[in-house]
Every structure is written in C-alpha cells, then in structure tokens.
Amino acid sequence: MTGDALPVATPAEARAVVVPVLRDRRRALLAVLALHVVATLAGLAGPRLLGALVESVQRGGGRGQVDLLAGLFAVTLLVRALCTRSARLRAAVLAEFVLARVREDFLARLLRLPPSTVERSSTGELVTRATTDVETLSAALRHAVPEVTVAAAVTGLTIGAMLLTSPPLALCVVVGLPLVVWSTRRYLRRAPEGYRREMAGWARVNAVIQETAGGGRSVEALRLAERRARDTDEAIAEVSAAERYTLRLRTTWLPCLEAAYLLVLVSALVLGGLGHRQGWAGLGQIVAVCVYAWLLVGPVDTLVTWLDEVQVAATALARIAGVAGAEPPRGPAPTPRPRGEAGVRIRDVRFGYDGRDDVLHGVSLDVAPGERLAIVGPSGAGKSTLGRLVAGLDRPRSGTVRIGGVPIADLPPELVRGHVALLPQENHVFGGSVAYNVTLPAPSAGRDAVEHALHLVRALDWVRELPDGLDTPIGSGGMPVSPAQAQQLALARVVLADPPVLVLDEATSMLDDRSARTLERSLADVLSGRTVIVIAHRLHTARDADRVVVLDGGRIAELGTHRELVSAGGAYARLWAAWRGDVNAAGTTAPPPPGSSAVA
Ligand code: ATP
C-alpha cells in the first residue's frame, strides 16, 4: 500500500491484468514470436554462410558453389528484413490492443470503486494513474517491450547458434558476461537516485531564478542581489554535482560494456587460433563465432538500455492494476427486495473517519419496511455519517448494516443502487439536457415518466419555461441551474430510480420553508411503501415521520414517535419547543396538526 488511499499491485497481481489479455490474443502473440524467431534464424544463418564461403574459397571450391552461398546469404538478408518489419508491425498492433484493454479495465475499476475511496484519494493521484501512468505503460508497450523481446530472442538464439557452431568457442561469451552483469547492476542501482537528484536540482534552479526575476524590485530594494546570486550559484552547483555523478556512472558503465564485447571477441580469436593450431576449430567456425560475438553487441546493448524503461513501466502497471485492490470484495449478487419488504437493521455500528476516533459509538436501530424514520440531533452528532453507512458509502469499523437482510457494505456499488439511494444536500448537475440529468438512473424512462417525476417535485413549470424544455442543455456549458433547482432534479432522479430504501440527507434544504413543505407532501405520496430515513434540520419533517431518533455525540439519545418524545420532555421536546418558537417568531409556515403525511 502507498500512503494514499489507492494501493499498488504486487507483481503477481499486475501480471494477472496483462496475461489474460495476451491469452485472448494468443494467435497474434504467437505470430509475432514466430516472425521474430524466423528473422533471427535468418540473421544467424548469415555468419554460418559467410563461414562456409570462407572455407569454400580456402578449399578452392568452384565458382558455382561460391555463387550459391552468396545467393543464399542475400536471401537470408531479405527474409530477415521482411520478417522483422512484419513482426514489428504486428507487435505494435498487439501493444495497442493490450493498452486499450488495460485502459478499459482501469476505467471500469475506477467507476466501481466505492465512493468513499474516491473521496479519500487525492484527485492528483487518480488523475496521475489515469494519465501519466497509462502513458508510461503505453510508451513501454509500443517501444521498450518489443525492443526487449526481440533483443532477448536474438541474444538467446545467437548464443544457441554459437554453441551449435562450436561449443568450446561459444564459451568465450562467459568471459564477458560477469563484466556486463556487474556494471549494469551497479548502474541500475545508482542511476535512479542520481537522475532524481538531477531533476530536483533543476527544479530548484528554476524556482530560484523565477523568484529572483519575479521579485526583482524587492531584491533591489532590500539589496538582496548578492544573496540571490549566491543562492543561484548554490543551486547550479548542486545540479552540476548531480550531472557529474550521472555522467560518471555512464562513463563507467558504457566502457565496461564495450570492454566486455571486446573481451568476448578477443578470447574467441585467441581460443580459435589455438583450436585451429590444435585442429579442433576450423577457419569457418572461427569466423562464424567471431561474427556472432560481434552480432551480440546490438541486442545486449538494447537489452540493458531498455531495462530502465521496462522497470518504470512495471511500476506504472502496478499502480494501474492496484486500483483493483481498492474494490470492495464481491459476494454473490442478491436480488433487490421489492419496496415495502426492505427494512434496515443496524447492529452495534462503530465508525471513525480514516482510522481516527470513532464518531459513531455502537448504534443499533431497526427501521421497519415502509417506515419513515427521522434522524435529528445537534451538528456533528453523526447523522450524516449514519446515513452514509446505511447507503453503503462507508463500511462500519465494526457492527453491521443490513438492508432487506443484505449486508450493504459488502455489495459492489452497482448493486447497492438497487437497494438504497442517498440524496445529499448538494447535488451535481451533469452537462447534458434536463431529460438526460433526470434519467441517469433509469435511461429507458420515457418522456411522460420524466415529466411526471418533474411534476411531483414541483419542477415541471420552470423546466417547461426553458428554451427547449426537457431538451435544454444545463450544467457545464448549458443554462445555469440554481442549487434549489439542482435539488429538485435530484429528487426527480430518485422518483425514477425507485429504490426500496431512501436516505434523504437534508434533501430539501436549499428550498425555502414553504416550497420544501409542499414538495415534501407531494413526495410523501410517491414514496409511500418505501423505507425512508430522513436527516432533518426542519423539525416539521421529524414531526411528520413515523418515528424519530435523536443522535447525540454518536449515540442514540432518544427514540420514539414525535408524540412520545414531546411528552417525555427530553432533548427532543426541547428542540421541538425551540423550533416551534423560531418558526412562529419568523412568521413562516406554522406547523400543521400532527399526523399529516409528509415524508421529509
Ligand atoms: P451536521 O448536522 O452538521 O451535518 P452531522 O450530525 O450530520 O452534522 P456528521 O457530518 O456525521 O454529523 O459528522 C460527525 C463527525 O464526523 C463530526 O465530528 C465531523 O467533523 C466528522 N466528519 C464528518 N465527515 C468527515 C470526513 N469526511 N472526514 C473526517 N471527519 C468527518
């Protein structure tokens, strides 16, 4: 896990993202590998033919034989060129396919993340994974992976060909190997830190220069010129030290590689000479092994130089695949309970944000199917938190929340929607038409259904007055919509979504008292049969509910009907008296007689 809310995948988890995609494209992958093998074999046949040519000339072979060998040599060159071209083309197409799947998977996983995870991970982190990390992976898949695959295949086959040509001479490779491995490991261990220092140093140089130039007048007024110049010199000295360090690393590494190649070649020549004199190595074999040794330089160079890129790409893949680790565990998909049958059962629930102190301390509560329960209490009592737990947005630290018998926090987000909806105080308006915004949870809803929902939330009149009615673009780039109108659209969305359990968290708070009451009354009819939990600041909402729970300091302080709690003379009775006094003093809506049927 990283410090943020999004985990990083283990190498095995990262492989599990790419391997199934490659398995799907098995034939394309095999074709690319086969073409590379043919191209490499054709390339390797060249030195053998060259060796045979030398031997044929040495033996005084006829012109026909020499011509035949030269012709075959030309054919191998042609086959190699054609196969390499085709393999690279197919590899590029395959890489694009893999990348597309990784991108699609990533997006799908991102959309399945629990909202609480998305809320808690920084936007920068998500955006970096979706853009920079995917770009890094994409560059590697397009360039580094094909280069490394080809280079690895060529290296392996070249060594194989050397062994076939002359096993004793092929042993010369072993002479150069330790130097390549030692120098490359040393470079890879130290280079990342060096390059990081270099980048940080350049960032500091830029910052110092920009500050000095931007604050030129202050620098002059405060006579800071000398000090700023000293700061700039120091920053430049740091960068140049870092640059010298990485340069030193490269100037040790690259000559080591060169020396290793030469070592292989020289030892092949020396050993070959010895073998020729002792009679166990022919001239052709020596020529072929030397050419093979020289041919190794290219692919080994490619392997070591692209290794860095492949490492960075593996990290990017681990970060992309890590998003899967933030997904909730998937249980079997339960069928949503029809409305009227889904009650809420909360048992000994404790919860604190981000591992901090609990804000809910063992809350237990039953809401019967079809019941309307109001939650009231002072600010910070934990009302919204309880609402979020019921809606499955957060998982209790301990205890359970069940809806219609289903533990809601274990459900994948797309199934939660079928059980419960939470309507918060502030609602987002998406860029699109009014109809698009209302039908988000039910895209197949017809225009009549949309108009009916808008009518129920008292929004149809203003929507009809818009230039294109239901088709008027709103939200970003469209007509501006007030917070109260956005709240009405969100309520209309809920009417169409028709979830069996509904949590309304001050869902009508943006409306004035009178509009809120009217809207709540009309909603009450539509929502009849649903289990409704309503977090209420206006106490007429609590009075109209079947039961009221008073939360205080994360605990249930009182629970009962409005009448019972008023008669009990406790915290709720005091809140009610204060509310009634305020409403009457403000001369707004006088509370209607108890028993009228409003929901929120
Ligand atoms: P209000 O009526 O003011 O909305 P509330 O009763 O709904 O309050 P909550 O919003 O549930 O109370 O907050 C309960 C406690 O949890 C408060 O102390 C609050 O500061 C804290 N809290 C709420 N949301 C978060 C969050 N996202 N991260 C950290 N702490 C939070």
395-446 per-position pLDDT tens digit: 898 999 988 888 887 777 667 777 888 888 777 788 889 999 888 878 888 8
Mutate to test the pocket of ligand 1, among 375, 384, 509, 556 (most ligand atoms within 8 A of CB): 384
Is 221 found in the same domain as 122?
Answer: yes
Q: Which domain CATH number covers 421?
A: 3.40.50.300
Q: Average the pLDDT over 125-141 and give the result.
A: 74
Whether 29 is in a domain gets the answer no
What's the half-sphere exposure (Cβ side, CA atoms, 13 Å) at 386?
36
- How far does the centroid of ligand 1 lie from the alpha carbon of residue 351, in Å? 11
Whether 317 is in a domain gets the answer yes
555 lines ligand 1 (CB under 6 A): no
Please say if the pLDDT value at position 329 is more than 80. no
Domain boundary, last residue among 326, 360, 379: 326
355 lines ligand 1 (CB under 6 A): no
Q: 87 with 149: CB under 8 angstroms?
A: no
pLDDT given at position 16: 79
Q: DSSP for 265-293?
A: HHHHHHHHHHHHHHTSS-HHHHHHHHHHH
pLDDT given at position 374: 93
pLDDT given at position 78: 92
pLDDT given at position 496: 86
Considering only CA atoms, which residue is closest to atom 10 of ligand 1?
384
Is 208 found in the same domain as 350?
Answer: no
Please say if the pLDDT value at position 157 is more than 70. yes
Cα–Cα distance, 420 to 173 (Å, whole number): 68
479 lines ligand 1 (CB under 6 A): no
Cα–Cα distance, 522 to 508 (Å, whole number): 13
pLDDT given at position 588: 46
Domain boundary, last residue among 304, 326, 348: 326
What is the CB neighbour count within 10 angstroms for residue 358? 17
Cα–Cα distance, 433 to 477 (Å, whole number): 11
380 lines ligand 1 (CB under 6 A): yes
pLDDT given at position 119: 67
Q: What is the CA radius of gyration of the chain?
A: 37
% of the chain exceeding 70 in pLDDT: 88
Structure tokens at 249: 């690393």
Q: Has this prediction a pTM greater than 0.75? A: no
Cα–Cα distance, 82 to 49 (Å, whole number): 19
* 588-593 long-range Cβ contacts below 8 angstroms, 24+ apart: 588/513, 588/514, 589/513, 589/514, 589/517, 589/540, 591/540, 591/543, 592/540
Cα–Cα distance, 566 to 574 (Å, whole number): 8
Is 190 found in the same domain as 135?
Answer: yes
For helices 11-24 and 283-322, give the axis angle rounded to 10 degrees: 110
- How far does the centroid of ligand 1 lie from the alpha carbon of residue 300, in Å? 59
Is 184 found in the same domain as 158?
Answer: yes
359 lines ligand 1 (CB under 6 A): yes
485-502 burial: b if 16+ Cβ within 10 Å, else e: bbbbbbbbbbbbbbbbbb
- DSSP assigned state of 594: T
pLDDT given at position 593: 37
Is 194 found in the same domain as 284?
Answer: yes
- How far does the centroid of ligand 1 lie from the alpha carbon of residue 299, in Å? 60
Is 364 found in the same domain as 254?
Answer: no
pLDDT averaged over every residue in the chain = 81
- How far does the centroid of ligand 1 lie from the alpha carbon of residue 553, in Å? 11
Whether 35 is in a domain gets the answer no
Please say if the pLDDT value at position 590 is more than 80. no
pLDDT given at position 3: 40
Q: 87 with 39: CB under 8 angstroms?
A: yes
Considering only CA atoms, which residue is closest to atom 25 of ligand 1?
353
Considering only CA atoms, which residue is closest to atom 15 of ligand 1?
380
Which of the four pLDDT bands, split at 50, 70 and 90, describes residue 585? low
Residue type, 78: L
pLDDT given at position 589: 44
Mean pLDDT is lowest, of 253-267, 330-344, 491-505, for: 330-344
pLDDT given at position 194: 80
Cα–Cα distance, 295 to 420 (Å, whole number): 66
566 lines ligand 1 (CB under 6 A): no
Considering only CA atoms, which residue is closest to atom 29 of ligand 1?
353
Which ligand 1 atom sits closest to the C-alpha of 385?
11
Please say if the pLDDT value at position 316 is more than 70. yes
What is the CB neighbour count within 10 angstroms for residue 343? 19
Dihedral sign for Cα atoms in the order 219, 222, 227, 229? positive
Which ligand 1 atom sits closest to the C-alpha of 387?
11
Mutate to test the pocket of ligand 1, among 350, 358, 359 (most ligand atoms within 8 A of CB): 359
More confident residue, 46 or 553: 553
φ and ψ of 558, to 5 deg: -145, 155
Whether 68 is in a domain gets the answer no
- How far does the centroid of ligand 1 lie from the alpha carbon of residue 509, in Å? 17
Mutate to test the pocket of ligand 1, among 118, 350, 383 (most ligand atoms within 8 A of CB): 383
Structure tokens at 3: 């410090």
- How far does the centroid of ligand 1 lie from the alpha carbon of residue 533, in Å? 17
Whether 416 is in a domain gets the answer yes
- How far does the centroid of ligand 1 lie from the alpha carbon of residue 386, in Å? 10
Mutate to test the pocket of ligand 1, among 349, 353, 356 (most ligand atoms within 8 A of CB): 353
Cα–Cα distance, 56 to 40 (Å, whole number): 24
Q: 7 with 121: CB under 8 angstroms?
A: no
Considering only CA atoms, which residue is closest to atom 3 of ligand 1?
379
- Scan for tokens 């809910």, then name that residue: 360
353-412 per-position pLDDT tens digit: 877 899 999 999 999 998 999 999 988 899 999 999 998 888 898 999 988 888 887 777
Considering only CA atoms, which residue is closest to atom 30 of ligand 1?
353
- How far does the centroid of ligand 1 lie from the alpha carbon of residue 420, in Å? 21
Mean pLDDT is lowest, of 296-300, 329-333, 452-456, for: 329-333
463-497 per-position pLDDT tens digit: 999 998 899 988 777 888 888 888 888 888 888 88
pLDDT given at position 324: 65
Q: 562 with 545: CB under 8 angstroms?
A: yes
Q: Average the pLDDT over 55-63 and give the result.
A: 76
Cα–Cα distance, 216 to 200 (Å, whole number): 24
Please say if the pLDDT value at position 114 is more than 80. no
For residue 369, the Cα-to-chain-centroid distance in whole angstroms is 38
Residue 416's nearest CA partner among 393, 383, 444, 385 is: 393
163 lines ligand 1 (CB under 6 A): no
- Scan for tokens 């009182």, then name that residue: 558
pLDDT given at position 547: 95
- How far does the centroid of ligand 1 lie from the alpha carbon of residue 511, in Å? 22
Residue 530's nearest CA partner among 422, 450, 420 is: 420
Is 129 found in the same domain as 163?
Answer: yes
Q: Average the pLDDT over 189-195 and give the result.
A: 79
Helices marked H in 113-144 = 115-120, 123-128, 134-139
What's the half-sphere exposure (Cβ side, CA atoms, 13 Å) at 148?
16
Please say if the pLDDT value at position 557 is more than 70. yes
Strand order of the β-sheet with 344-351 is 360-367, 344-351, 398-403, 406-407
385 lines ligand 1 (CB under 6 A): yes
Please say if the pLDDT value at position 533 is more than 70. yes
432-452 per-position pLDDT tens digit: 899 998 888 788 888 899 999
Considering only CA atoms, which residue is closest to atom 11 of ligand 1?
382
Residue 508's nearest CA partner among 390, 599, 416 is: 599
Q: Which domain CATH number covers 209?
A: 1.20.1560.10
Is 189 found in the same domain as 125?
Answer: yes
Residue 382's nearest CA partner among 350, 345, 413 is: 350
Q: Average the pLDDT over 338-351 and give the result.
A: 80
Q: How many angstroms separate the Cα of 181 from the Cα of each of 48, 153, 174, 238, 555? A: 28, 18, 11, 30, 64
Which of the four pLDDT bands, split at 50, 70 and 90, describes residue 19? confident
116 lines ligand 1 (CB under 6 A): no
381 lines ligand 1 (CB under 6 A): yes
Q: 528 with 598: CB under 8 angstroms?
A: no
Is 169 found in the same domain as 198?
Answer: yes
- How far does the centroid of ligand 1 lie from the alpha carbon of residue 384, in Å? 7
Please say if the pLDDT value at position 535 is more than 80. yes
Instruction: Look at the chain and report how many structural domains it folds into.
Output: 2
Considering only CA atoms, which residue is closest to atom 27 of ligand 1?
353
379 lines ligand 1 (CB under 6 A): yes
Is 365 found in the same domain as 234?
Answer: no
Which ligand 1 atom sits closest to the C-alpha of 551?
6
pLDDT given at position 4: 45
Cα–Cα distance, 500 to 189 (Å, whole number): 58
Which ligand 1 atom sits closest to the C-alpha of 386?
11
| Number of residues written out for the chain | 600
Cα–Cα distance, 550 to 449 (Å, whole number): 37
Whether 488 is in a domain gets the answer no
383 lines ligand 1 (CB under 6 A): yes
Domain boundary, last residue among 326, 359, 387: 326
Whether 453 is in a domain gets the answer no
Which of the four pLDDT bands, split at 50, 70 and 90, describes residue 106? confident
Cα–Cα distance, 285 to 278 (Å, whole number): 14
353 lines ligand 1 (CB under 6 A): yes
241-300 per-position pLDDT tens digit: 988 998 898 889 889 988 988 898 899 889 989 988 988 888 888 888 888 888 888 888
Which of the four pLDDT bands, split at 50, 70 and 90, describes residue 336? low
Considering only CA atoms, which residue is closest to atom 23 of ligand 1?
385
Residue 518's nearest CA partner among 462, 599, 581 is: 599
Is 358 found in the same domain as 259?
Answer: no
List the domain range (segments joined by +) for residue 348: 339-425+500-586
Which ligand 1 atom sits closest to the C-alpha of 537?
2
Q: 396 with 478: CB under 8 angstroms?
A: no
Dihedral sign for Cα atoms in the order 267, 273, 275, 281? positive
Is 236 found in the same domain as 183?
Answer: yes
What's the half-sphere exposure (Cβ side, CA atoms, 13 Å) at 369?
13
Whether 474 is in a domain gets the answer no
- Scan for tokens 């249980």, then name that residue: 331
Please say if the pLDDT value at position 560 is more than 90. yes
- How far does the centroid of ligand 1 lie from the alpha carbon of residue 190, in Å? 47
